[in-house]
Amino acid sequence: MDEVQQSRTNPTRRRILGASAAAAAVIGGAGGSVLATGSPALAGGNRRGRLRAEPLIPARNRGIILYSVRDRITAAPDDSGVPYGFERVLARLAELGYKEIEFAGYHQHESILGRQITPQEIRKILDDNGLVANGTHTQINAATFTQQMDIAQTLGMRNIGTGADPTNSSYTKDWDAAADLWNELGRQAARRGLRLYTHNHDSAYGFLLDAGPKDANGNPTRSTGRRKLEYFFEKTDPRHVFFEMDIYWAYVARHKHHTFVDARGTERRSLFDPIITVAERTTRFPLFHAKDGVKDSTRPDGYVMVPLGLGAINFQQFFQTIGEPDFHHANWEDDTAPGGAANPGRSLQYADISYDNMSELTIYKR
């Protein structure tokens, strides 16, 4: 039995430890001994009442970005027995338990309908399966933003966003220009009842070049230690510009972006903490990519993507610490889920595993 198959029948060690740690924190806070037999906190004898377990991510807020199953969304009809196209794939995702969908394009194989599907037809499929669109990765620019908002509202989504960083630059002047644009587009979105968001990769949490000697083009060559996206937090209006943290890429950033050269040429170390980054501004993050990875020191990123619950990222700690569970929406993603022609059902199998592990994240309360 391989690792993926085994996860369907046995709880992962990380999930057990995560749940135990959460329970221990509650019991310890109640004055009970975590290891004592017949602890009053567990027995219900404590005057503050019994512990109760609740989902850490409410069922209505568990989603998936369709990029994870893009191979089956865009597949032509075949005889594999695996769902293909929006109608069949979304029905299957609803069967697995997902309640929310984040889009990564609005196209399927034209042979399914003899033409391209329309946003109105996709909306009907969502409604028929009790699914809600919670966001999208589309192009965000001034020229097409009205059209993209039209599609978003047809699909009934609350958030509209992109899978790209606001700029790929390392200079404050370019992040300033991006902030001006996003503030304006954010205001336009708000007037239509939408929230505009951007999604990070690891480079967004790298360091700005904002100090020291200038290069031949007049650009700074060293850093004050300020991170690009954290600067963008400050330059954008919190009422109109929001964020989707890709948790996997945030931990890759922690692994990769930990030293900078200051204005005097001295190398300095600065630890990036994804949890603190969110917790300090938690209501600016309505969406997350709940993407897991195993550590691999042989790779530049330090991680390899796996289905949620099979990796090293502590989602229990992450979501419990940032709080606001009713506000936050978790979308499972695995860029590498598609199995190709050799295993056309793999992405939906990984979706099944990941939903189960997401649903078992638990918080203990009184």
- Alpha carbons 111 and 346: distance in angstroms, whole number: 23
DSSP letters of 127-190?
Answer: HHTT-EEEEEB----TTTHHHHHHHHHHHT-SEEEESS-S----SHHHHHHHHHHHHHHHHHHH
Q: What is the reported pLDDT for 299?
A: 97
Q: What is the reported pLDDT for 50?
A: 86
The encoded tokens of residue 78 equal: 């075949």
Q: What is the reported pLDDT for 12?
A: 41
Q: What is the reported pLDDT for 333?
A: 98
Residue 162: phi, psi to the nearest 5?
A: -140, 155
Q: Which residues of the chain have pLDDT under 50?
A: 1-46
What's the count of helices (H) and strands (E) in the chain, helices before strands? 13, 16
Q: Measuring CA to CA, which residue among 187, 252, 260 is closest to residue 227?
A: 260
Q: What is the reported pLDDT for 48?
A: 61
Q: What is the reported pLDDT for 3?
A: 43
pTM exceeds 0.85 for this model = yes
- Alpha carbons 183 and 213: distance in angstroms, whole number: 31
Domains contained in the chain, CATH given: 57-361 (3.20.20.150)
Q: Which long-range contacts (CB under 8 A, 24 or more apart) does 11-17 make?
A: 11/360, 12/309, 12/310, 12/357, 14/309, 14/312, 14/314, 15/309, 15/316, 15/357, 15/360, 15/361
